[in-house]
Amino acid sequence: MDLFQKCFQFTQADEIRDAGLYPYFRPIATEQDTEVIIGGKRLLMLGSNSYLGLTNHPRVKEAAKAAIKKYGTGCAGSRFLNGTLDLHLQLEEELGEFLGKEAVLLYSTGFQANLGIISGLVEKGEYAVTDKSDHASILEGCKLSMGETKRFRHNDMGSLRRVLERLPVDVGKLIIVDGVYSMEGDIAPVPEIVELARQYNARVMVDDAHGLGVLGETGAGTSEYFGVTQDVDIIMGTFSKSLASLGGFAASCGEVIEYLKHHSRPLIFSASISPPNTAAALEALKILREEPERRGWLWRNTRILHDGFKSLGFNIGTSQTPVIPVYVGDVLKVFQMCMMLHEEGVFVNPVVPPGVPPGRSLIRVSCMATHTPEQMNFALEKFEKVGKALGLI
């Protein structure tokens, strides 16, 4: 059979387009801000991961411009060879100090960070132990490793214990969880995970892509939120959410970072994070630390949406964060709801299988620090209108 046969037979996207319900790849013609313009129409952006609203901050943009002026637009090589800048080292140092970790290593994307950390550390005869709701990049990192993957039920510590009990005590084990789950919006019980790791001779890695800048007294993420920074062995994060850029990182003890520098193939064989992206993330980190009030604004908006959705009768599951799933269940209704909200002036993200389990399709809502209460109330009015029209509430 022709390799391309499956491509020629793929018609689902066209069928959804023909029905006027295709919600993907909508071209945004403005900056990623609280409002965006798509096809000449202004929409309230409730689908962005820019939790602190820094992607359009003047200081962040100026830092990126200054980096281009000094370093050019790219590094033309990997960190391992010719692609390490003093700017990379500065960001690694400041991130390490902020997160409370000895050393940090930058990757070109968050996805590559998970690929590189997991595949670099988990070898043949060792185990990666993952939550069933972990991000796709974690699963791909496990596949790329030579070790075996074991999964436990989402945030179920009894399930995790049973998995660990079945593994040999004297082999390497890495428990990997999201700090904040990107679809459910709930938080991993990291202290309980750390305690189980101690009992069963395992290490702990937290993917804090959606926790950095959101949780913790200073915004340092899930580990800080629970007060277990020193007990979490590896903190992974991204720059594409709160830090208004593109890239990822691993934060750990010096020995682990040194090992990854020389064994992590996605690092060694990929071009470095670009100068403007590095400078933008560094400046965003400075603003995060200087302006704690942004987290206050973010949580104000989060409370408005949480309370509003619940009072309207929507099911938002166990969300505890600015990531808010509005559960719909039926795939077709998710697409209908997404496009009806688009027509009403609200941009949201539809999430259907395999992104979520069958029957758990949802509208993913996420708010930003720079949204106003008036914008939050506007969104709730539109959700009420569309929800009633679809018979959801």
106: enclosing H helix or E strand: strand 103-107
Cβ-contact 270, 112 below 8 angstroms: yes
Cβ-contact 146, 124 below 8 angstroms: yes
Cross-strand partners of 176: 130, 205
Nearest to 248 by CA among 99, 108, 138: 108
**Annotated catalytic residue within 210, 342, 371, 382:** 210
**Annotated catalytic residue within 154, 173, 241, 306:** 241
Distances (CA, A) of 92 to 64, 206, 282, 373: 17, 18, 9, 36
Q: How many residues does the chain have?
A: 393
Q: Sign (positive/negative) of CA torsion 185, 191, 196, 200?
A: positive
Task: Give residue for tokens 């070109």.
Answer: 108
Find out whether the peptide bond into 354 is cis, omega within 30 degrees of 0.
yes
**Annotated catalytic residue within 182, 242, 264, 274:** 182
Task: Give residue for tokens 């202004």.
Answer: 42
Cross-strand partners of 35: 44
Instruction: For residues 24 and 335, give the distance between their C-alpha atoms in angstroms, rounded to a whole number.
Output: 10
224: enclosing H helix or E strand: helix 222-226
- The CA-to-CA distance between both ends of the chain, in Å, stands at 48
Task: Give residue for tokens 């071009």.
Answer: 271
Residue 341: other Cβ atoms inside 10 A = 25
Instruction: For residues 116 and 114, give the distance between their C-alpha atoms in angstroms, rounded to a whole number.
Output: 5
> Does the active-site annotation cover 88?
no
Residue 142 tokens, joined: 């496990």
Catalytically active residues, by annotation: 182, 210, 241
